[in-house]
């Protein structure tokens, strides 16, 4: 299961909902059972997704907290059944639905079976564009629901070639699913931001940093900068990728010689210098692991 892909529509990534950690783990474990490709099998409101306690133990538990795994799973499923989600639609409309429509509890087999709500299925299946995906194992070491939530957003943003996001604090609370909570800045910083950044920075391939902005005596907004850790040497002191360095790298004659047949380039990118440079800046930030012929900073010399 750990290598299963979790794929969700970006509309669902940005949706408004509140959820606890074990609910999110159960939800994602079931989502990872779905083949979201357009040519995959058709999933309906009758399709069932089963997760065993052993699978959840192997992925999300360590040796010190495994004894009550079925109880945790059952309680998570109970709560998840009642969770609502609000998704923005076109034309100033919103959809209010639930994630799941049914739960089967099987203590004898130590497993839980979910069926997804009919209205949520289009955001999990038959996805051809505007979706976010990652492997389930990538969030297995994140023990904060806020860390998982922020990690999903970062994967989504980087998929849109965005590596910095600025929020008013109330907007950040909304996107993190804590609207109306942590009203004091210190609470929000300590319980949501600091914890999420620490876990992401320690347990994933991303480096995230934050800056806060004051108006008068009050903090009013924050800026998140994020990139894959392998790009640290072309980031500035605030953790933001340097546009000047990226431009210098892709303009290097040696870089062009090394990667003029890079497999992700479009046909135009292989024949037009400006298009090559534009595409390669995006590919470096998205897939730095592809560029291993020499350290990227060497192309700056």
- The model's confidence at residue 2, banded by pLDDT at 50, 70 and 90, is low
For position 242, what pLDDT does the model report?
85
pLDDT, tens digit, for every residue of 123-145?
Answer: 999 999 999 999 999 999 999 99
How far is the C-alpha of 5 from the C-alpha of 28, rounded, in Å? 9
| 64 has a pLDDT exceeding 70 | no
The pLDDT of residue 301: 82
pLDDT at site 67: 76
Rounded mean pLDDT of 175-181? 93
| 25: pLDDT strictly greater than 70 | yes
Rounded to the nearest integer, the mean pLDDT of the chain is 94
Decide if 277 contacts 270 (C-beta within 8 A): no
Residue extent(s) of CATH 1.10.10.10 domains in the chain: 5-140, 159-228
- CATH fold of 5-140: Arc Repressor Mutant, subunit A (1.10.10)
Reply yes or no on whether the pLDDT at 71 is more than 70: yes
- Return d(Cα 25, Cα 292) in angstroms, integer: 34
> What is the pLDDT at residue 236?
81
Q: What percentage of the chain has pLDDT greater than the value 90?
A: 87
CB 224 within 8 A of CB 210: yes
Q: Is the pLDDT of residue 12 over 70?
A: yes
Per-residue confidence (pLDDT) for residue 239, from 0 to 100: 81
Inform me whether the pLDDT recorded for 65 exceeds 90. no
Percent of the chain with pLDDT over 70: 99
pLDDT computed for residue 235 by the predictor? 86
* Banded pLDDT at 169 (limits 50, 70, 90): very high
CATH architecture for the domain at 159-228: Orthogonal Bundle (1.10)
Residue 66 pLDDT > 80: no
pLDDT digits (tens, 9 = 90+) for 212-238: 999 998 999 999 999 999 898 888 877
List, for residues 27-41, the tens digit of each pLDDT value. Answer: 999 999 999 999 999
Segment 156-174 shows an average pLDDT of 94
Which residues, 6 or more positions from 154, have their beta carbon under 8 angstroms from its beta carbon? 200, 206, 208, 224, 226
For 245-286, write each residue's pLDDT tens digit. Answer: 999 999 999 999 999 999 999 999 999 999 999 999 999 999
Q: What is the mean pLDDT of residues 53-63?
A: 89
């Amino acid at each position: 299961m750990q290598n299963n892909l979790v794929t969700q529509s970006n509309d669902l990534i940005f949706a408004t909902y509140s959820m606890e950690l074990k609910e999110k783990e159960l939800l994602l474990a079931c989502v990872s059972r779905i083949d979201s490709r357009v040519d995959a099998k058709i999933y309906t409101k009758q399709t069932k997704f089963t997760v065993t306690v052993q699978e959840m133990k192997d992925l999300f538990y360590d040796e010190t907290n495994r004894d009550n795994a079925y109880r945790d799973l059952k309680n998570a499923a109970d709560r998840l059944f009642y969770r609502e989600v609000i998704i923005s639609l076109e034309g100033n409309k919103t959809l209010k639905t639930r994630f799941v429509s049914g739960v089967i509890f099987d203590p004898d087999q130590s497993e839980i079976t979910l069926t997804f709500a009919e209205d949520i299925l289009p955001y999990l299946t038959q996805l051809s564009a505007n979706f976010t995906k990652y492997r389930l194992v990538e969030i297995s070491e994140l023990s904060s629901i806020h860390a998982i939530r922020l990690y999903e957003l970062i994967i989504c943003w980087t998929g849109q070639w965005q590596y910095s996001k600025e929020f008013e604090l109330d907007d950040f609370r909304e996107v993190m699913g804590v609207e109306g909570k942590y009203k004091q800045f210190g609470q929000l910083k300590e319980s949501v931001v600091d914890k999420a950044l620490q876990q992401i920075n320690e347990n994933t391939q991303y480096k995230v940093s934050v800056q806060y902005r004051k108006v008068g005596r009050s903090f009013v907004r924050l800026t998140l900068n994020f990139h894959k850790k392998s790009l640290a040497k072309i980031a500035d002191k605030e953790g933001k990728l340097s546009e000047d360095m990226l431009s210098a790298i892709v303009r290097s004659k040696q870089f062009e010689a090394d990667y003029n047949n890079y497999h992700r380039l479009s046909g135009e990118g292989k024949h037009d210098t400006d298009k090559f440079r534009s595409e390669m800046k995006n590919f470096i930030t998205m897939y730095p692991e592809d560029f291993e012929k020499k350290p990227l900073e060497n192309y700056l010399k």
